[in-house]
Structure formats: structure tokens, C-alpha cells
Structure 1
Amino acid sequence: MKWNLRLVAAKRGIWKAGELRELLAAEGMEISAGKMSKLWSGDPASVKLAELDVLCRVLDCAVGELLVPAVPRHSEFTKNEIRSRKM
């Protein structure tokens, strides 16, 4: 999965992590600067469902906009998958 927070936020005119952090706090989601940095940088170790709920509410988006399927690189396909695609 690919974490797409910055793009979703930018589409809504939010360009800085601090701006989003303030909006989240106004909705009752107090998060540390470190956690916000991880969310913003695109490398969160984990995201709780309650956090996703608040993020979606603040950004007026669906979970599918924040979490998008990553396209596998060619090297990630197994030999069997490659063979079956050729048929």
C-alpha cells in the first residue's frame, strides 16, 4: 500500500504538516510532532483506525484516497505469474 496523505492534503489546500496537525487537534486528535512527521513524510509505521477516521473527516476524503494499492515492480512478480500472463 502507498500512503498518500500529502497529495490528499495538498488537493485541499493544506501544504504544511503543522497546518494539518492543528486541524486534527481541533477534531480531538492530539498527535506528537514525531508521529505527524512520519504521517507527513509518507512512512508511518502504523495508523490506527481511529486516526484514519479523523484524517478522513478533516480532509473530507475516503480511506481509499489515503491508502492506495502500490503497483508491484516487475522484479516482484514470480516466474509463475510472468508465465501465466504470457498465456
Structure 2
Amino acid sequence: MTELDYAWHLREVMAERGMHSTAGLRPLLASRGVDLSPSQVYRLVVDKPERLRLRTLMALLDILDCAMDDLIEPLTSRGVRDTRD
């Protein structure tokens, strides 16, 4: 049985788009109906979330103009990208 995991690339995607501060992300999320505290936004950026509301994910995809696989990279138990198609 394969254990599934994922890599979270929010910080990298933000940096690619010139966003280097978590403070700037909070009002952008709020404008899309996602109200998070400064500490929640910080944790979302620097830590791999164990739970993520779909509304929050959709807001991030819209803000960053990216696809889900830009933020979430599926991994197998050996740290290899899951290439199932």
C-alpha cells in the first residue's frame, strides 16, 4: 500500500509573482470572502496545511492566477511525484 503525501508550494508561487509578504495576501483573500487572521495567513504560507477549505483554495488559485497542481504536488511515500494519469 502506498502512503500518500503532498508538497505545498504556496510560498514559492507567491514569490514567483512578486509577493514576498503574508500581509499582502490577507486583504486579497478577504476580498474573495475568505476572512483569516494574520496568524492563519502566515501559517497557510509557511506550513503545509493538513486541512484547507475549498473556498480558500479557490481564492488562492484566483489571486495567484495558477492551477491547483502549482500549489499542491502529490508525493508517494518515497517522496517521488505521483505520476498517475
Name the structure with the higher helix share.
Answer: 1
How many residues were matched structurally? Answer: 74
For 1:33, the equivalent position in structure 2 comes to 38
Q: Tell me what 2:22 maps to.
A: 17
Asked if 2 retains the 8 angstrom alpha-carbon contact of 1:17 and 1:37, the reply is yes
User: Which structure has the greater CA radius of gyration?
Assistant: 1
Q: What CA distance in whole angstroms lies between the structure 1 residues aligned with 2:27 and 2:75?
A: 29
The farther-off stretch of 54-63 and 33-42 is 33-42
Alpha-carbon contact 1:27-1:54 (below 8 Å) kept:
yes
What is aligned with 2:64? Answer: 59
Whole-angstrom CA distance in 2 between matches of 1:32 and 1:53: 18
Provide the rounded CA distance (Å) in 2 between the counterparts of 1:10 and 1:71. 26
Instruction: Please provide the CA RMSD for this pair.
Output: 1.7
Q: Give structure 2 stretches of 5+ with no counterpart.
A: 1-5, 80-85
TM, length-normalised to structure 2: 0.75
Q: Which amino acid aligns with 1:68?
A: E
TM-score by structure 1 length? 0.74
Q: Which has the higher contact order (CA 8 A, sep 6+)?
A: 2
Residue of structure 2 equivalent to 1:42: 47
Matched residues in 1 for 2:38 and 2:70: separation? 23
Distance in 1 (CA, whole Å) between partners of 2:75 and 2:42 is 21
Contact 1:9 1:15 in 2 (8 A): yes
How far off its partner does 1:72 sit?
4.3
Q: What SS does the corresponding residue of 1:18 show, helix, strand or coil?
A: coil
